[in-house]
Amino acid sequence: MIINRFSLKKYFFLLLLLSFTFAGAQKKFTVVLDAGHGGSDFGANRVYPETGRLNEKDVTLAIVLKVGRMLEKNKDYKIIYTRKIDEYPSLLDRTNLANRSKADLFISVHCNASPRTAPYGTETFVQGPDQNKTNLEVAKAENDVIFLDEKDREMFASYDPKSPESLIALKIQQSKYLESSLLFGSFVEENFEKKDKRFSRGVKQQNLHVLRLNAMPSVLIETGFISNYDDAMYLASEKGQNEIAESIYNAILSYKKAIDRNKSVAQEPAKPEEKPLKNDFRILLMSSPMKYNSTDPALKGLSDIVTIKEGTLYKYYYSVTNFASVRDNNLRSAKDAGFQNSTSISFVPDQKLGVGYYTLELAVTEQKLSSNSPMLGTLKDVNRDKVAGKFYYTYGKFSTLEEALKTQKEIEGKGVKNTVIQKVTK
Ligand SMILES: [Zn+2]
């Protein structure tokens, strides 16, 4: 008996160990390292007798590879490079890579340049509106590369940095990550200043396209001025590149430590004696005439979102629970993410609609879908309505939200994604 109990204990201990191992394996901290410019885009460059032509694209790649090599030795981190060779990934490719990998941190490494040779030192930019003139010049120089790429041109065409609406949208979009980005930026600049004895011009906010659509804390580090002789020699040297890389690496470690600390405070488990409520609660983030896919930055990185269309408005609901403590936590998360006006809405479980029904809106298109489109091939009995010149494709009739959700999940498994639940009340 004693032996049995002992081995049982050992067994549970093993299980405990295993579960920690798996939890640890899942929680790798993912860092995207982005070497600025590349390929046909040389970035800033100057000719010096000591170095020949010194190109920003070469310096940024050398630094990024050094940071990566240090991080790769630490099993807590996963590193994603936007480039490891002399090539030019479009800004959109860089952003998409970062968003798809659900990265925790995005670091874009650059070198500064000025028409004058005097300015020197480092600065780190985070995404955020700021009308400071010199900052705007940096933004312009770094954004100039946009015109190299067809895809980028389309993507950013509608974006006018001068329009107040754009600025407000940007501000809201980035508010969730602004604080974390500033924190990381301050670690970087502090290391440059205190360890490497560089002149730090500080952490600044600016609209930079390479950071704009990122759904994670992101910074752009200007590691020095290629247009300044002393800075250029430092940037070109092995010693300088090593110091810069080490400072960025140490900033990543400090930042992760700070984030982990915050998490352990935030994760208070639900009290075991808490009784479930009768109703379900979802957090209404916003109502909008716009339809956003689940990965759209407008949703600020929140996952577990159900969209319910009522009339012409799409209502975005975050998470569902019947525990009051979890509901309150969810509401707090939504507000932290930047949805200041979010509210919790109660749903009676399995409630049948008195009037009307639920259906799934599959797609809204300008052109009629061809009969061999994948969606129409996958699903039978898809309805098509033409309203005001647009084609609305819907599927199924359900009397409860739960039934609609169930079917939505099923067809998602068949590859029909980004559908919306529509409440039809007439
Ligand atoms: Zn640059």
Q: What is the pLDDT of residues 351-373, one digit of tens each?
A: 888 889 999 999 888 888 888 88
How close is the Cα of 274 to the center of ligand 1, in Å? 54
14, 173, 283, 285, 329 from 302: Cα distances, Å: 34, 12, 12, 10, 14
DSSP assigned state of 297: G
Q: Do 87 and 168 fall into the same domain?
A: yes
- By the 8 A CB rule, do 157 and 147 touch? no
Among 235, 264, 293, which residue terminates a domain?
Answer: 264
Q: What is the 3-state secondary structure (H, E, C) of 164-204?
A: HHHHHHHHHHHHHHHHHHHHHHHHHHHHHHHCCCCCEEEEE
Give me the residues paired with residue 80 across strands.
32
- The pLDDT of 84-110, averaged and rounded, is 88
Q: Would 5 be classed as within a structural domain?
A: no
Q: What is the pLDDT of residue 176?
A: 59
How close is the Cα of 222 to the center of ligand 1, in Å? 8
How close is the Cα of 33 to the center of ligand 1, in Å? 14
How close is the Cα of 293 to the center of ligand 1, in Å? 31
Q: Do 255 and 163 fall into the same domain?
A: yes
Q: In the structure, what pLDDT confidence band is assigned to residue 29 with cuts at 50, 70 and 90? A: very high
Q: In the structure, what pLDDT confidence band is assigned to residue 290 with cuts at 50, 70 and 90? A: confident
Q: Would 4 be classed as within a structural domain?
A: no
Q: Do 121 and 204 fall into the same domain?
A: yes
How close is the Cα of 40 to the center of ligand 1, in Å? 13
Q: Would 10 be classed as within a structural domain?
A: no
- By the 8 A CB rule, do 259 and 310 touch? no
How close is the Cα of 37 to the center of ligand 1, in Å? 6
How close is the Cα of 347 to the center of ligand 1, in Å? 50
Q: Do 338 and 300 fall into the same domain?
A: yes
371: its two tokens:
């009969």
How close is the Cα of 38 to the center of ligand 1, in Å? 10
344, 404, 424 from 350: Cα distances, Å: 18, 11, 17
How close is the Cα of 288 to the center of ligand 1, in Å? 36
How close is the Cα of 345 to the center of ligand 1, in Å? 46
Output the average pLDDT for the chain. 81
Q: What is the pLDDT of residue 130?
A: 46
Q: Would 387 be classed as within a structural domain?
A: yes
Cβ-count burial 213-244 (b if 16+ within 10 Å, e if not): bbbbbbbbbbbbbbbbeebbebbbeeebbebb
Q: Do 407 and 309 fall into the same domain?
A: yes
Burial class (CB in 10 A: 0-12, 13-18, 19+), 363: buried
Q: Do 163 and 96 fall into the same domain?
A: yes
Range of the domain at 392: 280-424
Q: In the structure, what pLDDT confidence band is assigned to residue 339 with cuts at 50, 70 and 90? A: confident
Residue 175 one-letter amino acid:
S
Q: Which residue has the higher pLDDT, 272 or 252?
A: 252
How close is the Cα of 352 to the center of ligand 1, in Å? 57
How close is the Cα of 67 to the center of ligand 1, in Å? 18
How close is the Cα of 57 to the center of ligand 1, in Å? 8
| pLDDT, tens digit, 9 for 90 and up, residues 389-408 | 899 999 999 999 999 999 99
Q: Which of 208-217, 256-265, 274-283 has the lowest mean pLDDT?
A: 208-217
Q: Would 129 be classed as within a structural domain?
A: yes
Q: What is the pLDDT of residue 253?
A: 95
Q: Please state the domain count of the chain.
A: 2
How close is the Cα of 136 to the center of ligand 1, in Å? 14
| pLDDT > 70? residue 260 | yes
Q: What is the 3-state secondary structure (H, E, C) of 108-158?
A: EEEEECCCCCCCCCEEEEEECCCCCHHHHHHHHHHHHHHHHCHHHHHHHHC
How close is the Cα of 42 to the center of ligand 1, in Å? 9
Alpha-carbon distance 7 to 13, whole Å?
9
Q: What is the pLDDT of residue 111?
A: 96
How close is the Cα of 166 to the center of ligand 1, in Å? 23
Q: Do 248 and 343 fall into the same domain?
A: no
Q: Do 133 and 224 fall into the same domain?
A: yes
| CATH classification of the domain holding 243 | 3.40.630.40
Q: Would 270 be classed as within a structural domain?
A: no
Q: Do 251 and 314 fall into the same domain?
A: no
Q: Do 286 and 258 fall into the same domain?
A: no
Entry field: residues in the chain: 426
Q: What is the pLDDT of residue 267?
A: 55
